[in-house]
Amino acid sequence: MKLFEDIFVLIQAFIVSIIITSCAQVGTPSGGGVDKEAPIVLEISPKSGATNVIGDKGGAISVTFDEYVNVKSLNSQLLVSPILPQGLQWSMKGKTVTFVWNDELQSDKTYVFQFGDAIVDIREGNSIDNFVHAFSTGDHLDSLSISGSVVDVFTSQPKSGVRVLMYDSIISPDSIFNGAKPQFVSTTNESGEFLLNYLPSGRYKIMAIEDNDRNYVWTSGEGLAVFEEVVVVEGHVTLETPLRMQATSELAVKYFVKSSRDSLGLVNIFLSAPIELSDKIDVSGNEFFHNNENLWVLSGESSSDVVWCGNDTLNFQEIKLTQMETFKEVKGPEGKVVSSNIAEFIFSRPLESVAGSLFKLITEDSLEMFLDSVYIDYLDPFKVIVKGNFTRGNSFELTVIPGGVVGYGGVQISDTTSFKWSVFEKKSLGDLRVKIEKNGWLELIASNGEVVKKQRLEDNKAVEFKNLTQGTYQLKWTGDTDGDGLWGSVDLLQWESPEPAEIMSTKVKIKSDWSHEVEWRN
């Protein structure tokens, strides 16, 4: 019994020692909110707005903060106007950071130091936004300014946290495109508003970028806005119209990734990025077709032509000869479809011809129907369009007899091919009429982001979208102020903002067997 009592006493002593040790340890208490506050400047010398500052080499800006800070990527984040060739060197003592300049400052000049995201707190890395310090080496401080706002081009919603960059008006857009740094920078607040301060009188170019990589240079893929007019600053200037920011796609250099050609001369080239209308393609007179990253060339069996797109070149004789893939159907109408007069069929090879007499259509009652027409889509040589009276609510089966479709090189599908589908009843679909007094185009966008229909706007006439499946849609308008037949997006090299555009804020709900009407006012 005495042994058990001794063991019990030892266990109690061990537990007490653990509790005492735990209480004696020093550490960060658990719980509590995360620090989201940026450091605060308590004292700065020379004072902001000071005049007659001595600009001798080795002078310094001394800044004391309310907490311990770190200085990150100063060389890339700091902008000084006028430029300091040697930048600033920094040192830290306690909560005070000293920035030393190693150039002699120019006399009678206002110096503006814009620190970007360089100064952050030690604990959470919160940076000081728009930390700008200015003083003058003369008896006058430049105090002119520009204010304005940045909004989304489609929604007109404010763009917060984007950088607004200002350049001298004589700089070329090409220099900006190739990475020239701005003279002055600001960042928009939650309302999309910005203020460029401590400016000398002059003429300026202004643009805004999302600057995700924080380098003061627009990078493809970042949102972009340009203010087309040169801004003349002789006092405080308020831009009456906002900068309209548009998302941009990454500018990829296109090159040939892989290529093949078969014994009948069909060349398939796969590129590193989608082919666009602006790309130049030279196939020395041969027929070609492109879709996304794929380029098909109908070259013949003994062609020695050169294909090029962008900066890449490819000689046909260097393309690997491969066995011809089996010619087959790829896709046809399936399940329930909306259209009651058109059916589309995709094949694996560009088509040479179709024979409508070899297309047989029967109804669900096994009754044969006559087709109005069968032809190859002039925009897509892989596609056959069949027109007929596909009665709503009925099911159909289309049979293509061998010889009905002939692919490039004279190849045919050896077996009979069949497609089955049905057509929505009219009462299962809805209509939408949009009254809109705008020029350009109106797009109807499904909830998955797909453009369902797009119509040209003419003479302020109402637009009708018929036979829509039940669901929620959005309306998107894009203008055409220059009358070139296209919606012009933002263009840095041409220094052009996007043409007017808007997404209707209210979504449209389409119900079955219902006619809807929407009025879109200016």
Q: Examine residue 377 and state whether it is found in any structural domain, yes or no.
A: yes
Cβ contact 49:93 at 8 Å: no
In one-letter notation, the amino acid at residue 479 is: G
pLDDT for 287: 85
Find the mean pLDDT for residues 32-56.
89
Other beta carbons less than 10 A from residue 227's beta carbon: 23
Q: What is the pLDDT of residues 401-447, one digit of tens each?
A: 999 999 999 999 989 999 999 999 999 999 999 999 888 999 999 99
CATH of the domain at 65: 2.60.40.1220
Of 88, 106, 136, the domain-final residue = 136
Same domain, 373 and 443: no
**pLDDT-derived band at 23, boundaries 50, 70, 90:** very low
Q: Examine residue 30 and state whether it is found in any structural domain, yes or no.
A: no
Residues whose CB is less than 8 angstroms from the CB of residue 500 and which lie 6 or more positions away in sequence, other chains included? 440, 478, 479, 481
Same domain, 418 and 486: no
Q: What percent of the chain has pLDDT over 90?
A: 68
Q: What is the pLDDT of residues 498-520, one digit of tens each?
A: 999 999 999 999 999 999 999 99
Same domain, 403 and 479: no
Q: Examine residue 385 and state whether it is found in any structural domain, yes or no.
A: yes
Same domain, 410 and 447: no
Asked whether the predicted pLDDT for residue 121 surpasses 90, the reply is: yes
pLDDT for 16: 40
Residues whose CB is less than 8 angstroms from the CB of residue 399 and which lie 6 or more positions away in sequence, other chains included? 359, 360, 361, 362, 416, 417, 418
Host domain of residue 285: 256-318
How many residues in the chain? 522
Distance CA 431, CA 454 (A): 15
Same domain, 240 and 195: yes
Same domain, 118 and 179: no
Find the mean pLDDT for residues 316-325.
83
Cβ contact 42:67 at 8 Å: no
Q: Examine residue 48 and state whether it is found in any structural domain, yes or no.
A: yes
Higher per-residue confidence, 51 vs 123: 51
Of 89, 117, 136, the domain-final residue = 136
Q: What is the pLDDT of residues 475-502, one digit of tens each?
A: 999 998 888 888 999 999 999 999 999 9
Burial class (CB in 10 A: 0-12, 13-18, 19+), 474: middle
Q: Examine residue 224 and state whether it is found in any structural domain, yes or no.
A: yes
Q: Examine residue 219 and state whether it is found in any structural domain, yes or no.
A: yes
Q: Examine residue 221 and state whether it is found in any structural domain, yes or no.
A: yes
Of 218, 245, 272, the domain-final residue = 245
Higher per-residue confidence, 318 vs 241: 241
Per-residue DSSP letter, 358: G
Structural domain total, the chain: 5
Q: What percent of the chain has pLDDT over 70?
A: 90
| Of residues 382, 357, 352, the one with CA closest to residue 371 | 357
**pLDDT-derived band at 4, boundaries 50, 70, 90:** very low
Q: What is the pLDDT of residues 142-193, one digit of tens each?
A: 999 999 999 999 999 999 999 999 999 999 999 999 999 999 999 999 999 9
Other beta carbons less than 10 A from residue 219's beta carbon: 16
**pLDDT-derived band at 286, boundaries 50, 70, 90:** confident
Q: Examine residue 373 and state whether it is found in any structural domain, yes or no.
A: yes
CATH of the domain at 502: 2.60.40.10
pLDDT for 24: 38
Structure tokens at 322: 């491969």
Structure tokens at 79: 């902008």
Same domain, 306 and 333: no
pLDDT for 358: 95
Same domain, 290 and 304: yes
Can you name the residues that pair with 187 across neighbouring β-strands? 163
Q: Considering only CA atoms, give the Rg of the chain.
A: 34
DSSP for 410-428, written as a single string? TEE-SS-EEEEEEE--GGG
Q: What is the pLDDT of residues 349-386, one digit of tens each?
A: 999 999 999 999 999 888 999 999 999 999 899 999 99
